[in-house]
Structure 1
């Protein structure tokens, strides 16, 4: 391996250490402790959805939020210790020491779609297992992100810290020219190890000056050029044909929020689902007739199942009263606004309670800010 001069990154603008919440390290939000549950690749079984639905209702505020990394978070957890016990029993807490660093996103169809060229499910499983087995990597910031793209381009657009797909590796969105990378799991772990050496107090690789070149050199490669990153993906609702003749059903919970009852409805509909980074849920490998039956049941439970639904493409941050920094109840404002629509907006719309714009999707978006008439595009 080539020698690399490793600088110390001193982020003078970093106000505090990484406090990204987890299942054990909760965040004290305005509406109570917030627990974030990592679900690598967005994979959640029916039994796990059922457990989360019951826990959200019995231990929390009956709100489960879908995050931009395909994870789930439960608001207002009154008994975090009991909640953690339930997660462990359900298989959602395989490594307490690594639970905040299991940040792995993957194409939700896992190679099954029309443009799918890579089966990502086994890679997610292998990376998660290897990550949890590497003691030093428990020190990764809770925002460091691994990604697998099946060739669709839906995940490459997320600019994860380390991405692998049919076209090879990317570091913070930059293509990596690598002489050898036959073992993608080993390469991704090596990239994460190098990031730990050079990070200073940075949370993401893109924050480290010259970080992409430094990691590329340690891996025996160089930053490459092109092809261009695909456009970011927005939520979709409806059926997608798989190459094997089965179909996938994608449903959108309004504003990316599930009640306990809606989580239980998903549990009844499928043995396993995939939570997407664009805050939808995908049920895969369904016969067409069963998919239509599930769509009707989930529509009755409050999900958008039609691509023309006004809920498709509308997102919002938590807002008041859950977030103390918000200037208003953007969830309520967004719901009132959507009630006046008869179809999905042409451009995605995001409601934000303050200038942090939490949860705002990538790409073109109409931004609506809390307050009197503030809006920008």
Structure 2
């Protein structure tokens, strides 16, 4: 695939995109993991210098909109420990099984998240990864392998993982000791051969990034796409509780984020624009649920809010033909979304479209349907 625009304009914490409503900052969160203090810092940045909201992305990152003071935001992000390498900050796109080490799975991939993040930041060549390139670490539950990241591993048991390209099993098997070196080597190979490509799937021959790795199993397996993250009261394997909260349209008010942070527990932003508050005693979980539910967070797995998403639309995007978030909200209120995965977008670019479900594209003549996302 040859792109007309060679420069990767994907926003970061330092490379700020100028949208119709002001500066847009995207803060990468490897594995979606946040401390309470880090969430407070992001909420503070959004309140003091932005739109007073945090946008959760489909890769477990956080966006801040309407930024009026880019340097102050960058200082807050760095001070919270969310900017370990200014040269690599857009390359730190790592998603992992959100409940890994807490519920199910063959192994806990959280240490791998930290190791991979450190390895990426330590390799000067990997600063050349496009901002859209991402890596998945699946603990065997199959939750993030189905998201079809450019590169990934999927735990087959407690000793062996499958190497994936674009969510498809390559037939290459790795021992745990070889995971980090293999992932970084494949990523470097992509940087070497990518040309103007931003994704592995855009290469004429994606397998060229595998170089001399040996196939030892039948390739081609894929995993189903999950459309919802873990929601509600979730019993952890250690007897404690995690709370899974849906965030309507992925827009988390800064004030609500402060309530979440006040629980003072580990937080995970999931690739389904939801969040987890983990490692809670039952009493704390019960009180937290009673406090957070009235804030608009969704704890009902059957809620229609979990079936609908939207790009920013008007007035945040100058290309948009409609206020798609308002229209999506009206559709939920009218009961038009239940049981249907639907994404509203303001133009043909269809930003943020999921890989399954219907996409409604706003035009001057109303919405028209694209049956499957591109």
TM-score by length of structure 1 reads 0.91
Q: Secondary structure at the match of 1:183?
A: helix
Aligned to 1:111: 101
* Structure 2: runs of 5 or more not aligned: 157-161
Take 1:263 and 1:202, find their aligned partners in 2: how far apart are those partners? 36
**Residues 109 and 370 (structure 1 numbering): CA distance in 2 closer, same or farther, change over 3 Å?**
same
Q: 2:128 aligns with which of 115, 123, 139?
A: 139
How big is each residue's C-alpha offset from its partner over 1:61-89, in whole Å with a ceiling of 9 and x where there is no partner?
Answer: 11211111000000011000111011111
The answer to whether 1:370 aligns with 2:332 is no
The answer to whether 1:333 aligns with 2:323 is no
Aligned to 1:361: 354
Q: 1:45 aligns with which of 35, 43, 60?
A: 35
Q: Which structure 2 residues correspond to residues 11-22 of structure 1 after superposition, within 5 A? A: 11-22=1-12
Aligned to 1:171: 165
Aligned to 1:217: 211
How big is each residue's C-alpha offset from its partner over 1:287-310, in whole Å with a ceiling of 9 and x where there is no partner?
Answer: 333222211211122211222323
Corresponding residue pairs, total: 363
Take 1:160 and 1:34, find their aligned partners in 2: how far apart are those partners? 23
Aligned to 2:300: 306
* Structure 1: runs of 5 or more not aligned: 1-10
Q: CA RMSD in A?
A: 1.9
Q: Secondary structure at the match of 2:292?
A: helix
Q: Is the 8 A contact 1:119 1:150 kept in 2?
A: yes
Q: Is the 8 A contact 1:63 1:259 kept in 2?
A: yes
Take 1:315 and 1:243, find their aligned partners in 2: how far apart are those partners? 31
Aligned to 1:74: 64
**Residues 218 and 56 (structure 1 numbering): CA distance in 2 closer, same or farther, change over 3 Å?**
same
Aligned to 2:187: 192
Take 2:213 and 2:286, find their aligned partners in 1: how far apart are those partners? 47
Q: Is the 8 A contact 2:304 2:332 kept in 1?
A: yes
How big is each residue's C-alpha offset from its partner over 1:300-327, in whole Å with a ceiling of 9 and x where there is no partner?
Answer: 2221122232322211110001011111
TM-score by length of structure 2 reads 0.92
Take 1:353 and 1:26, find their aligned partners in 2: how far apart are those partners? 21
Q: Secondary structure at the match of 2:234?
A: strand
Take 1:310 and 1:233, find their aligned partners in 2: how far apart are those partners? 12
Aligned to 2:311: 317
Q: Is the 8 A contact 1:198 1:211 kept in 2?
A: no
Take 2:77 and 2:216, find their aligned partners in 1: how far apart are those partners? 41
Aligned to 2:113: 124
Aligned to 2:252: 258
Take 1:129 and 1:373, find their aligned partners in 2: how far apart are those partners? 44
